[in-house]
Structure 1
């Protein structure tokens, strides 16, 4: 999909979401309209149904990207729904690398405490639950998941080190756009994960460097090297699991789980006590949905919904 196609699809999604809301908002007082970025409903919907209870119906509406969620929110406010529909409309956006003030919306809105929902799949307890339920480590005894979990942590640290420069560079790109007031020309979806990282069974290899990033992203702004290095160092000592771009973390998670799955079904596993069948699909297109039940539900999300009800 070209950048023009992606922008057109976002506009279409935003228009469809807004039209559906206008048509349906007066039909059922128990219906709660939830406006999301992209396919974020795959993470949120199961949690909202639990937190809101059976007496509230969830209507999930995908608006496209964050910009389109903001456009719907602006229309919602302009049409007076902030006064008449406040407790039946919720807007959900990712924090990303945006400044805090840029994530303010009218009405009931939730902003992730980390870069995006994908970051909520990277907690240690999440992987522990995946190993227990999908890799059947509970059948291997009390220490059944220990070696596999330790190996995942080794791969994760290797990936975080490999991704630090890239995230610092993207952060500076977004910062430059905000300061200059220029609209974004950096389309991260144009460069596949496989062009940036190679996930091996024992480590993660960085396939880019400071000189190749402008070649991979030709529409990007030229950044001073000293500034890149300064922010690279800052990111290195930050909470990288929360701070880094979620889409890269999700793809790393999928590939790391593939490493563990290949080992688990082998005749002589290296990270597990023995060979066992693993049914987990790990599709690139649907990893967020496949693992949604295991992802972390942050306290701020629970409080957000509790305050609404």
Structure 2
């Protein structure tokens, strides 16, 4: 009987794949991978998400919120593919049957016109990276990784420096974020956005140096060379209402934080440090495993706690 049931379930999944193949287009690869995962774990909760860093963040946070929850992450490689998978599975199976939940970043385009529901979590910030870069996280890293637990004056000065640099960074990156926001709101397709922070700014503990000009914007975010920068005024009112720390592009903010910590490490290991009372050797590498470390130092937003609590095994 069990074999018959298992074969029937696999057959149903194959039928769904065939029915969706034409409409999914490129997303059919994600569906095929999903079916392989589901056939190996037919009774497990599956949470579909966008990218490779997402499981690192959500595995840590979900374990804090609901330790007993057993689930499998499924990386779709993009927001559109997560939403497409949800759309087609929900058309063919009830949520109770396929036990699949979905997580996407809010970005500048929210749910992209898709119906929201209890099975879909959208970050309250642009992305998870915005949740990781906070003063509290910095203070914990200073006390732990930077071995600065008893040096309150140093921590206070560093946090003030961080806040000043962050403010300058937002000013430096405003035009870039404004352009990306415009493209998302006007549904303008762009090629790959340049994520290397060095193309935009140089970060040091002394200040932020802007490396790009207005004429570089089109190339940096993948727009045609003849894009008219004046068009950004069309969405200016909406963009100006956004809080930079929570609603601007998280990858840029995260990259700034890593650059800041890297500079800070150099100062900590200097014979005559500027921001610390004395030199100390530390093995901490800001460029490695920071997502997990920052997740542990951050607090999950209440909306995520509610979402996780609602997941039914």
Bin for the TM-score computed over the shorter chain: 0.7 to 0.9
Q: Which runs of 5+ in 1 are unaligned?
A: 1-9
Indicate which of 47, 50, 62 corresponds to 1:48.
62
Q: Name the residue aligned to 1:147.
A: 157
Q: What TM-score do you get using the length of structure 1 for normalisation?
A: 0.82
Indicate which of 76, 80, 100 corresponds to 2:89.
76
- What SS does structure 2 have at the residue aligned with 1:91? strand
Q: Name the residue aligned to 1:23.
A: 39
Cα 1:92–1:218 change in 2 (3 A) is: closer
- What SS does structure 2 have at the residue aligned with 1:145? helix
Point out the structure with max Rg over C-alpha: 2
Distance in 1 between residues matched to 2:80 and 2:169, nearest whole Å:
29
Q: Which runs of 5+ in 2 are unaligned?
A: 1-25
Cα 1:222–1:168 change in 2 (3 A) is: farther
- What SS does structure 2 have at the residue aligned with 1:139? coil
Q: Which runs of 4+ in 1 moved over 6 A?
A: none
Post-superposition offset of 1:148: 1.3
Post-superposition offset of 1:308: 3.2
Contact preservation (8 Å) 2:197, 2:255:
yes
Cα 1:222–1:294 change in 2 (3 A) is: farther
- What SS does structure 1 have at the residue aligned with 2:215? coil
Distance in 1 between residues matched to 2:225 and 2:106, nearest whole Å:
22
Post-superposition offset of 1:17: 3.9
Distance in 1 between residues matched to 2:172 and 2:219, nearest whole Å:
18
Q: Name the residue aligned to 2:48.
A: 35
Deviations 1:58-110 (A, max 9, x none): 2111111001111221232123132424xx32210000000556354555111
Contact preservation (8 Å) 1:51, 1:302:
yes
Q: What TM-score do you get using the length of structure 2 for normalisation?
A: 0.81
Cα 1:235–1:264 change in 2 (3 A) is: farther
- What SS does structure 2 have at the residue aligned with 1:249? helix
Indicate which of 119, 123, 127 corresponds to 1:112.
123
Deviations 1:165-186 (A, max 9, x none): 1100110011121xxxx6x233
Q: Name the residue aligned to 1:263.
A: 267
Contact preservation (8 Å) 1:155, 1:204:
yes
Cα 1:79–1:89 change in 2 (3 A) is: same
Distance in 2 between residues matched to 1:13 and 1:297, nearest whole Å:
32
Q: Name the residue aligned to 2:172.
A: 162
Q: Name the residue aligned to 1:58.
A: 71
Distance in 2 between residues matched to 1:20 and 1:187, nearest whole Å:
29
Post-superposition offset of 1:18: 1.2
Contact preservation (8 Å) 2:110, 2:122:
no
Cα 1:307–1:221 change in 2 (3 A) is: farther
Cα 1:173–1:291 change in 2 (3 A) is: same
Moved more, 40-49 or 212-221: 212-221
Q: Name the residue aligned to 1:293.
A: 296
Does residue 134 (structure 1) correspond to residue 137 (structure 2)? The answer is no
Distance in 1 between residues matched to 2:250 and 2:267, nearest whole Å:
26
Give 1:191-210 correspondences, 5 Å limit. Answer: 192-210=196-214
Q: Name the residue aligned to 1:275.
A: 279
